Amino acid sequence: MHMTQRDGALDLLKWLALLSMVLDHLRYVGDSIDILFAPGRLAFPWFCLAMAANLARMGASRAGTPWRYLSWLVVFSAISEIPYRLFMPAPDTLNVLPTLVLGLLVARGWQQQTLESRLLALGALVLAALFPERLMFGFFGVLLPLAMLLVIRRPWYYSLLPGVVGLAANQWQVLYPAAQFGNVAAIWGIVTCLIAPWLGMVLLRHAKHLKPAPMRRWAYALYPLHFLVLLLVREIIA
């Protein structure tokens, strides 16, 4: 959502989330680099936190659904699907943007108590519950923006709630047994999932004096574009 007054900390959070996503996807360029798994767990929670921060700034007083924000997410969900499938090895879910679309509807439905918003939120929850296997980060990924919104203005220790939700969205059923067997990537992945919301909120509260390059609507194009760039790199080094 376009804001007249830029929040430098929010722009920085978005840039760092993008960097984390790229690092995570570098694992699929050449030999698997397990060390990148943990920093990659920051990307989705930080994008959800950025969404929650935008909704918090919008406030419940402004009626209706943020249609412009939603429209950009839907459009780039469609645009990104082909590059995503070209790059990812045998993907079994859609790209991440449909999860964020449903998460936006759920969070806004809690925040804006109108019939329209509540019905859209209910529909999003039903879709997430019926087709969790088709959504990246599943049902709990759809709940994560709401979890972030619930705690964004509360003391830091409330960040454990979205941390637990984020861990559930990252298939804790797989990570936990791997961690029990001493898998270092899984152990650090669990830790990162739990502390990612807290780290993001610390940044939002204490980095407002920074002024990184504003991340505006053109940044949506970076999502499909980064798949194509990494695909090209993989073809060159293959």
Residue 33, both tokens: 């680099």
Q: How confident is the model at residue 64 (pLDDT cuts 50, 70, 90)?
A: low
- For the stretch 170-228, pLDDT in tens is 987 788 898 989 999 999 999 999 999 999 999 999 998 899 999 989 999 999 999 99
Q: Where are the domains of the chain?
A: 8-237
Which of 215, 219, 221 is CA-nearest to residue 76? 221
* Side chain identity, residue 192: T
Start-to-end CA distance of the chain, whole Å, equals 40
220/103 Cα distance (integer angstroms): 17
**Nearest Cα to Cα of residue 138 among 150, 122, 127:** 127
Dump pLDDT digits (tens) for 71-113.
999 999 999 999 999 999 889 999 999 999 999 999 999 998 8
Inter-residue contact 106 to 127 (CB < 8 Å): no
Predicted TM-score (pTM) of the model is: 0.94
How crowded is the C-beta side of 101, counted as CA atoms within 13 Å? 22
Using DSSP, how many helices (H) and how many strands (E) does the chain show?
A: 11, 0
Q: Is 192 helix (H, G, I), strand (E, B) or coil?
A: helix
Q: What is the 3-class SS of 54-91, one letter each residue?
A: HHHHHCCCCCCCCHHHHHHHHHHHHHHHHHHHHHCCCC
